[in-house]
Chains A and B, each alone.
Chain A
């Protein structure tokens, strides 16, 4: 378990301030944040490489705030691997290994046993990262700290490294804290997401929750939400509106009318009336040629101004009375609906898809 209680730390001129979060034993935590948000400083503070200037760092329930790194029973893997260049691959994995058999086992699991006698300088980026993870795991850490370990890898190698790491993680159930600037990593891997910005935790919780309900427009934007609107929120009425029929038990929040530009749409939220932001994931926006008769409460007619193909999903931007709404639709839907720039369509999304922050 990793538990940080009001931790502050300093690295040069950069400061981490009042960091508090828990990553329960055996779970996978992900720290997300833009470059310069303090992610690596945070990991190094947990590792004891950087001393906390305030607060407490608990690992496995033990207060190790003042303990040196070698007493913390953890492993750290940096983005650039930091393999010892004067040692061979085998010597790197054996460095600090709990036993020779541990080193051999992880070498075999990560497929680096075939590279054992090679110089680390002859390895590719993917191989280096595999060796770095194998080296950290051969030490049998109770906590594994990963500093963007996949970011320098090509997609194929990234998937392989990620899969092997996940397999060992599920077997051993150590606690992992991985930092990334890519939210998809958090969604794929994490049990707990911690959003960091300028040295402070700005949101934490279940990754899905952070993804769906970002605490601020900044976070929403960072997490790739295409539809972030500034506007005015007004509660509609005290009782649940009819479009909530059958879902009342799910919502304790107020029904809200949110006005942005010339559009007004329904939402649910517990924000105070006044200026706020609404976030709608593009995946939650559907497109149709005619208004839908389904449970979609918010429907706006507009003209398609841009279609950006992107693999399985295309991003279609609609100009709805001057407000751009982005929808993520499958390539098949684009074909079937005959979507093209200039065509008139109806963009729809449920009130429950609108997150006010």
Chain B
């Protein structure tokens, strides 16, 4: 009895199923790729050319890269210990902490912007104190960093947690029995073994940060990051002016995507 007969499908039925699956997959892929390709083909060349002449676009691109980088660094500083704790240490309320970290992923980003404005705006107690100390959050690049950090840090924590979980805890146990204290074992063993995963997590966070719009536009319309600039050009001047900016943002986003593919191609260390 053949496999096909055993599962109740003839060879013809299997061919039809394969064709249907391939067709659905192709349609889905087209749905994802077509708008992006359309955008890049329509405005990509003009966008790259305008980089030489459009001062506002250049400044916006630089602001986006700089704020996303700062947000990512802050995310790594705060998120790495949290990810390690979530991956390694069983503690009461761990599931609650993990769920709280996922909260920014499920709330609409403009709502996240409103929430941040409520907490960090000049009228809020925290925002008031920061303002008195000379640090304006809303309407500044600090606000952009805060918005980027809020919406994209959960992605870093989640990916970093997985990166730590992939490293067998027994490597650390062996290092501890060889004389390392907990911090030294982390630094000499766990960190190098999870470095590739942590870098990938940071790249994901950075990629998410540069594409953020909803929370930023509420907290800081000016100065404009590229996503806000493309929206601004669209609402002020229409599609023709928005296209090059949007296309540049897409091309910009390809950088972390390529980095991520390269990191994943390296593969993780073996589990033991």
Contact = CB atoms under 8 A, between A and B. Distances in A.
A69 B182 CA distance: 9
Nearest to B172: A49
Given A70-B179, A70-B180, A82-B170, 10 more contacts: A49-B176, A70-B178, A72-B177, A78-B170, A81-B272, A84-B171, A86-B192, A86-B193, A136-B177, A139-B177
B193 to A, nearest CB: 6
A47 B193 contact: no
A285 B233 CA distance: 96
A44 interface: yes
A306 interface: no
Identify whether the interface residues of A are mostly helix, strand, loop, or mixed: loop
A47 B178 contact: no
Given A49-B173, A78-B174, A81-B272, A96 B179 contact: yes
Contacts of A69: 173, 176-177
B174 to A, nearest CB: 5
B270 interface: yes
Q: Which 10 A-B pairs have the closest CB atoms?
A: A96-B178, A69-B176, A49-B173, A85-B269, A80-B272, A96-B179, A86-B192, A76-B177, A69-B177, A82-B174
A49 B173 CA distance: 6
Interface string B132-145: 00000000000000
A121 B272 contact: no
A84 B180 contact: no
A139 B174 contact: no
B170 A85 contact: no
A139 B174 CA distance: 11
Contacts of B168: 82
> Most chain-A CB neighbours within 10 Å: which of B175, B179, B193, B272?
B179
Contacts of B269: 85-86
A68 interface: yes
Nearest to A77: B174
Contact of A47 (B177, B179, B180): B177
A126 to B, nearest CB: 16
B253 interface: no
Interface in A102-155: 121, 135-136, 139, 141
A81 B170 CA distance: 10
A269 interface: no
Interface of B: 168, 170-171, 173-182, 188-189, 192-193, 269-270, 272
A95 interface: yes
A96 B180 contact: yes
A84 B179 contact: no
A221 to B, nearest CB: 31
A76 B175 contact: no
A64 to B, nearest CB: 12
Contacts of A82: 168, 170-171, 173-174, 272
A44 B193 CA distance: 22
Interface in A264-309: none
Interface string A164-203: 0000000000000000000000000000000000000000
Nearest to A143: B177
A49 B88 CA distance: 13
A75 interface: yes
A255 interface: no
18 contacts: A47-B176, A47-B177, A49-B177, A70-B180, A72-B177, A75-B178, A78-B170, A82-B171, A82-B173, A82-B272, A86-B192, A86-B269, A95-B175, A95-B188, A135-B178, A136-B177, A136-B178, A139-B177
A320 interface: no
B177 A84 contact: no
B224 to A, nearest CB: 43
Contacts of A47: 173, 176-177
A44 to B, nearest CB: 7
Contacts of B175: 84, 95-96
A33 to B, nearest CB: 20
Contacts of A75: 177-178
A326 interface: no
